[in-house]
Structure 1
Amino acid sequence: MNGQKKLKQKTALLLAVILIAALLTGCQPRDIQMQFSAAADQAEAIGDYLHSFNQSMGQTVSESGLPMDPSVMKPWINTTIYGMVTDEINADIKDDLYLNVNHDWLRDAEFRPGYASEMRLLEATDIVRERCQKLLADKTLLQSEDPQVVHDASLIQGIYELFLDWEKRNETGVEPFRPLVEKILAVDSMEAVTELLLSEDYFFWGAFPASVSLGTNAEDSSLYEVKIGPTALLTYGDAAEYKEETPNGKRNREYADGVARYMFSRFDISDTDAECCLEDAYAFEEQIAESEKTVLESYDPAALKESINPVTMDELKEMSPNFPLTDFMERYGYAESRLINISEPKWLPALNALYTEEHLDELKAYLLKGTVSGLISYVDEEAYRTQQRLSNAASGITENQPDEEIAYTLALSMFPDSFDRLYIREYLSEDIRQEITKLCEDAIETYREMLAGTEWLSVETRNKAVNKLNHMTIHAVYPDKWEDDSMYAIKAREDGGTYLEAIQDISESSFEVAMSHINGTVDKEIWGINILDTNAYYNPTDNSINIIPGFFCDVTYRSDMSIEEKYGALGTVIGHEISHAFDTNGAQYDENGNVADWWTEEDYAAFMERAGKLVDYYDQVVGFDDGTPSNGQMVQTEAIADMAGMKCMLMMAEKIEGFDYDTFFRANAKLWSRVNTLEATEAMVMTDSHPMHYLRANVTAQQFDEFLEAFGVKPGDGMYLAPEDRIAVW
């Protein structure tokens, strides 16, 4: 995807995601058989409790007011679904750690306006937003003697104010885009389609049926390459949905079609023509989806190496003689790259086969739907409110997020470095960076001890794993080096600037930055992340852990925390991020961030067998009352990291006399406290690589004797898992 369209789609998606507000924390077929006696014991214990509860209530699920029937769920109630926790729904800590520790919070939690999730971690988001709102309002920054401060303030304040300038945005409405839409409507031949796709106005604002972008080379992460990815599936976003629609897919389709219908009406396209367009666009997507990976397939560990397919321009021309991919790349400079990769090589010939007169109407409909739908974020308040309403309905949200919060989040996504530098200047110190760095160093050293005691690994592979640890980079709190962003400028509202013009200028500058990296080398001293995200990261391409201030709040890190709280909260997160270097995705990267085979064949087989046991366990989890099981393949990387991260902290705890394990496990369970709307929960299990939060607390804790001993957990208790049934990979 070109630089402009990357930004356009990022912004459009961002606005939808903000409205959904499904924040994530953390940061990806087997024949192995396993006995689930312990899991069955847990399910029976919870089932007995629920049976007695239902008997005492004497009510159906609908009469009791619960959103789902908990008796179907196993091995625990899915208490991340909003409304599942009442005064009566509770459990002993021996049966359900997450519910017991978080009961009152889960029962009383309320959603913020515009959010489909509520978490204790959102306190960190609040802290950052409140501080950044002060930066947005502080006009004295524009008078600073430091030119960098003036530059940063002008960018963030400029785009923030232009987004909120409804008066000016309402004046222009959709009119700036009418010529482009009319150009699409006038297409009457494949030659005209090609001319459209290669035109400059379409380059900026149109829906191109392929992704062309710049990124790091998988096998040499010091180099940039052009990456070619498959056609965006506008209706569902997942190829699997075109074969069997899920409830989440149905909501996605209602949202996507609702946006398109509204935007068709804004461009005076009749209802009849609009419905024909939706049908034709869907037919095109349905056909191209057959050649694309599903979301679930993309989480298969094998998908990483399957996505590495270097090609030349000549080979691309052979794969796609009709669809003008190479013409597009030549026109806009991507063809100059010496390194080009196509992630799904089966897709491009399939797209090429559809690029014919026979499919003209379907292709034209896809381009029209994708383009007008993508414009909804850029026009007037009526369009914005319509998107807000449709997104809220799809996510179970009942109250709009304030416009000022939306504008702030948009500005933060556009200019993260500017916010970061101003935030560091105002609120951060070197002391906190040193403390976080020390905790990371201690965790890495403990991980060396973990690896030394891993008996199922050969000495050869163990040494290479330690070598990867030795090369791991710690990105603690904030960087010292930044990408050059001097080419960005925003014409302020008081100077006659408009939101649409600003987006165009940002797009052009973003494309300029992207093109400057063609055939260049990656500067790994530049972190390339937003340090104000409520998150923490492991980046496999530079083998770094990223522990950043956007994650800090009372539940994760305070200077006055007890050591048990620090280890149980931020400590397990640090251990989690280190562990991503050795999950089923990260394990395929070497110490330099390159995809490479550094395991012996026997060790890798043993590793995947252990991961398979974890996948099989999660495949037995039922979190919804329709009985549909969870999917272990989707959550395996995060589950592996959760357990290894906790093991790392427990090994550190062994060295502390009188360590309070009760406090440690409670702190970890509080870290994961979260409720979502039912709609958001269903969406997450279809697309999110993280286990549901009650599983992140419970499944992780039950792997360790320290938990069982701290709370007296015995066989038959809901939290008990026999040693032979445990699934921790490390």
Structure 2
Amino acid sequence: MTKNLIKMSSLILSQNKVLFLTKMFFSPSVSQRSSKAEFCLSPECIEAAGSILSKLDRTVNPCEDFYTFSCGGWLKENPIPEDSSSHGIYPWLRQHVDIKLKELLEAPSHAKELEAVTKAKILYRSCMNESKTILFSKIIIMLYSLRTQHNKNNLKTASLILFCLFRTIANYIQWRTVFSKITTLSRRFLYRYLDFARVISGTTSLTPRWDKCVNYVENSLVYATGRLFVDAHFQEDKKHMMEELIEGIRWAFIDMLEKENDWMDEQTKQRAVEKAHAVLAKVGYPEFILNDTYLSEDIKELEFNEKDYYGNVMQTLKMIAKSDVSWLRKSVPRTEWFTNPTTVNAFYSSSTNQIRFPAGELQKPFFWGKEYPRSLSYGAIGVIVGHELTHGFDNNGRKYDKNGNLDQWWSESSVTAFNEKTQCMIDQYNDYYWEEAGLNVRGKRTLAENIADNGGVREAFRAYRRWVDNSRGGVEEPLLPGVDLNNNQLFFLSYAHVRCNSYRPEAAREQIQSGAHSPPKYRVIGAMSNYEEFRKTFNCPQSSVMNRGAQSCRVW
């Protein structure tokens, strides 16, 4: 820890010349009430300051390109790995979670170990045994060759021409089955897959086998690996802080809806308030994974053999299929959730009106603990909370009522006004040209996510300012040393930092053509340039890119 602090301090001191110049550019926003600058010099604050400084590119004017200002330093120092088509803060955190899981799965078993955990370790070891994957490869090839030969024989029968469509569908299903297993085969086939991936995504190297095996076990034995991770790496006090953030952001959404929304009629607005109150938040992990009996019963039918990877895979596929079928014709369990605890993402479920934040997501730089400035957490995980909450009121989520039922609960006048508001946002994002892809963003395709981004930023910032007023009597948090940014500015910077991401051209084009999200750069620029508090905080003139002024788009 001492070495790290010295390193962080040296980094901060090395920035002094640049920081002195930037003092002339940055001035406190009108929202910052503290006239006396106080600094936080704890190890956590020094760590946070070093993390922030390492990501910035001070040569860029934040009012012209806030994304590059925020992420330029990180992007320069973190090239895309050869086995990836893109790289960013999300993939970086995903890799760190995988490394932690690898350590847990490779740890020796002991007599008192949970049976479900022991099975997860056996499945991992069988996957890592590459000599057994060769047999798996031969079996897959045999199945596919039999199917191919069968097709050749069938082609001799003229009558089957009439059923060409059905044959094509059958072949496609067979191919997808084989293709889905290619990454688990021996290296001979992995290198053939790499030739394919090089064209599709631009990757030039294979993903390490341990990483593939960790992901396979994690996705097959979801709750066993989730229990391993939660026991070792999740602190329960994170739940308490998340409750604070969630309730603050829920308040902010309702407060803006009641005080600033001028396009929704009163009856629909009241029902929207009721839906916002009814949103159920799930944090960390489903409680049932702490039940040892449940975990063992859930996978009791599995009998893994460390030397039979193929047999283990077939068992897990059968178990997962049976589990999926068992949910048919059953009512939706509105108060339960079944998300993998190690997932590095967050979700909104329209059918249950839930927002979900798995343990894998609740880590730096998304979630900062109570020892760090709250501005960082509100700007990162806080905006994500607002983003997911707003999904309940986007162009898709608005069609479901507070109980998760598909229901037209909006008045026609509110629907019309909503469509007019969203058209502004569609046009705005359509105008963004992404150089990496050589294509414009598709505003209509990404509309739901853009609505959620814009709403989430507004809600989280409003909640943060309320927290300062209520918890600190309006006195600003101490500043981070050497960064020379106030806490309102740190809020927006923290939002941008979790979006730092670079793409290969192939992956960028795929993102535009089939992705639900706008490119990370425009998720930052789009939402920030629409928000009056951002332009106040950074004193952005009316002529700047980050100040859309009267052309700003807003739905919520």
Structure 1 residues 697 and 169, CA, compared in 2 at 3 Å: closer, same or farther?
A: same
Q: What's the counterpart of residue 408 of structure 1?
A: 214
Contact conserved, 1:91 with 1:100, CA < 8 A, in 2? yes
1:98-138 deviations in whole A, cap 9, x for unaligned? 11122222222222352222223344324322321121012
Tell me whether 1:120 sits opposite 2:89 in the alignment.
Answer: yes
**Which whole-Å CA distance do the structure 2 matches of 1:625 and 1:417 have between them?**
38
Contact conserved, 2:432 with 2:522, CA < 8 A, in 1? no
Structure 1 residues 635 and 193, CA, compared in 2 at 3 Å: closer, same or farther?
A: farther
**Which whole-Å CA distance do the structure 2 matches of 1:563 and 1:416 have between them?**
32
Q: What's the counterpart of residue 79 of structure 2?
A: 110
**Which whole-Å CA distance do the structure 2 matches of 1:627 and 1:127 have between them?**
32
Tell me which amino acid in the other structure corresponds to 1:709. K
- 1:397 maps to which of 203, 215, 223: 203
**Which whole-Å CA distance do the structure 1 matches of 2:328 and 2:509 have between them?**
40
Structure 1 residues 375 and 720, CA, compared in 2 at 3 Å: closer, same or farther?
A: closer
- 2:282 maps to which of 468, 471, 475: 475
Tell me whether 1:636 sits opposite 2:431 in the alignment.
Answer: no
Tell me whether 1:721 sits opposite 2:548 in the alignment.
Answer: yes
Contact conserved, 2:137 with 2:185, CA < 8 A, in 1? yes
Structure 1 residues 183 and 634, CA, compared in 2 at 3 Å: closer, same or farther?
A: closer
Match of 2:87, SS state, is: strand
Structure 1 residues 177 and 117, CA, compared in 2 at 3 Å: closer, same or farther?
A: closer
Map 1:356-367 → 2, pairs under 5 A: 356-357=162-163, 366=172
Structure 1 residues 371 and 156, CA, compared in 2 at 3 Å: closer, same or farther?
A: closer
Contact conserved, 1:536 with 1:573, CA < 8 A, in 2? yes
**Which whole-Å CA distance do the structure 2 matches of 1:543 and 1:715 have between them?**
39
Q: What's the counterpart of residue 273 of structure 2?
A: 466
**Which whole-Å CA distance do the structure 2 matches of 1:519 and 1:355 have between them?**
38
Map 1:372-387 → 2, pairs under 5 A: 372-377=178-183, 379-387=185-193
Tell me whether 1:158 sits opposite 2:126 in the alignment.
Answer: no
Structure 1 residues 133 and 697, CA, compared in 2 at 3 Å: closer, same or farther?
A: same
Match of 1:593, SS state, is: coil
- 1:178 maps to which of 138, 142, 165: 142
- TM-aligned CA deviation for residue 96 of structure 1: 0.8
Tell me whether 1:697 sits opposite 2:524 in the alignment.
Answer: yes
Map 1:189-228 → 2, pairs under 5 A: none
Match of 2:511, SS state, is: helix
Query: Aligned residue pairs: how many?
Result: 477
**Which whole-Å CA distance do the structure 1 matches of 2:313 and 2:163 have between them?**
35
**Which whole-Å CA distance do the structure 2 matches of 1:370 and 1:434 have between them?**
44
Contact conserved, 2:437 with 2:508, CA < 8 A, in 1? no
1:167-191 deviations in whole A, cap 9, x for unaligned? 1222453246525632552245599
Structure 1 residues 528 and 189, CA, compared in 2 at 3 Å: closer, same or farther?
A: same
Tell me which amino acid in the other structure corresponds to 1:468. K
Q: What's the counterpart of residue 101 of structure 1?
A: 70
Structure 1 residues 392 and 156, CA, compared in 2 at 3 Å: closer, same or farther?
A: farther
**Which whole-Å CA distance do the structure 2 matches of 1:590 and 1:355 have between them?**
49
- TM-aligned CA deviation for residue 566 of structure 1: 1.6
1:123-162 deviations in whole A, cap 9, x for unaligned? 432432232112101223x5226xxx222x2332122222
Tell me which amino acid in the other structure corresponds to 1:143. A
Map 1:74-473 → 2, pairs under 5 A: 91-140=60-109, 142-144=110-112, 149-151=114-116, 153-171=117-135, 173-175=137-139, 178=142, 181-187=145-151, 188=153, 356-357=162-163, 366=172, 369-370=175-176, 372-377=178-183, 379-453=185-259, 454-473=261-280
Q: What's the counterpart of residue 561 of structure 1?
A: 372
Q: What's the counterpart of residue 671 of structure 1?
A: 498
- 1:485 maps to which of 292, 298, 314: 298
Q: What's the counterpart of residue 523 of structure 1?
A: 333
Structure 1 residues 355 and 573, CA, compared in 2 at 3 Å: closer, same or farther?
A: farther
**Which whole-Å CA distance do the structure 1 matches of 2:317 and 2:351 have between them?**
26
Structure 1 residues 502 and 579, CA, compared in 2 at 3 Å: closer, same or farther?
A: same
- TM-aligned CA deviation for residue 664 of structure 1: 1.4
RMSD: 2.9
**Which whole-Å CA distance do the structure 2 matches of 1:445 and 1:393 have between them?**
48
Q: What's the counterpart of residue 706 of structure 1?
A: 533
1:43-96 deviations in whole A, cap 9, x for unaligned? xxxxxxxxxxxxxxxxxxxxxxxxxxxxxxxxxxxxxxxxxx999x95311111
Tell me which amino acid in the other structure corresponds to 2:146. E
Tell me which amino acid in the other structure corresponds to 1:585. N
Contact conserved, 2:245 with 2:378, CA < 8 A, in 1? no
Contact conserved, 1:478 with 1:531, CA < 8 A, in 2? yes
1:438-471 deviations in whole A, cap 9, x for unaligned? 2112211221112112121111001111111121
**Which whole-Å CA distance do the structure 1 matches of 2:92 and 2:165 have between them?**
51
Tell me which amino acid in the other structure corresponds to 2:542. P
Structure 1 residues 520 and 190, CA, compared in 2 at 3 Å: closer, same or farther?
A: farther
Contact conserved, 1:487 with 1:509, CA < 8 A, in 2? no
Match of 2:544, SS state, is: coil
**Which whole-Å CA distance do the structure 2 matches of 1:618 and 1:569 have between them?**
22
Contact conserved, 1:90 with 1:103, CA < 8 A, in 2? no
Tell me which amino acid in the other structure corresponds to 1:668. Y
Contact conserved, 2:251 with 2:463, CA < 8 A, in 1? no
- TM-aligned CA deviation for residue 507 of structure 1: 1.9
Structure 1 residues 363 and 637, CA, compared in 2 at 3 Å: closer, same or farther?
A: closer
Contact conserved, 1:467 with 1:591, CA < 8 A, in 2? yes
**Which whole-Å CA distance do the structure 1 matches of 2:532 and 2:147 have between them?**
67
Structure 1 residues 425 and 608, CA, compared in 2 at 3 Å: closer, same or farther?
A: same
**Which whole-Å CA distance do the structure 2 matches of 1:405 and 1:391 have between them?**
17
Match of 2:356, SS state, is: strand
Q: What's the counterpart of residue 590 of structure 1?
A: 401
Contact conserved, 2:254 with 2:273, CA < 8 A, in 1? yes
**Which whole-Å CA distance do the structure 2 matches of 1:191 and 1:593 have between them?**
53
Q: What's the counterpart of residue 532 of structure 1?
A: 342
Q: What's the counterpart of residue 463 of structure 2?
A: 652
Tell me which amino acid in the other structure corresponds to 1:444. R
Percentage identity across aligned positions? 19
**Which whole-Å CA distance do the structure 1 matches of 2:166 and 2:388 have between them?**
48
Structure 1 residues 184 and 722, CA, compared in 2 at 3 Å: closer, same or farther?
A: same
Tell me which amino acid in the other structure corresponds to 1:485. D
Give 5+ residue unaligned stretches, structure 2.
1-54, 469-473, 477-486
Tell me which amino acid in the other structure corresponds to 1:479. P
Q: What's the counterpart of residue 252 of structure 1?
A: none
1:514-572 deviations in whole A, cap 9, x for unaligned? 33233222333431211211111111111111122211333211212212112111111
Match of 1:174, SS state, is: helix
Give 5+ residue unaligned stretches, structure 1.
1-84, 195-353
Structure 1 residues 434 and 192, CA, compared in 2 at 3 Å: closer, same or farther?
A: farther
Tell me whether 1:606 sits opposite 2:417 in the alignment.
Answer: yes
- TM-aligned CA deviation for residue 164 of structure 1: 1.9
- TM-aligned CA deviation for residue 671 of structure 1: 1.9
Match of 2:502, SS state, is: strand
- 2:513 maps to which of 686, 689, 692: 686
Match of 1:399, SS state, is: coil
**Which whole-Å CA distance do the structure 2 matches of 1:364 and 1:150 have between them?**
39
Structure 1 residues 355 and 550, CA, compared in 2 at 3 Å: closer, same or farther?
A: farther
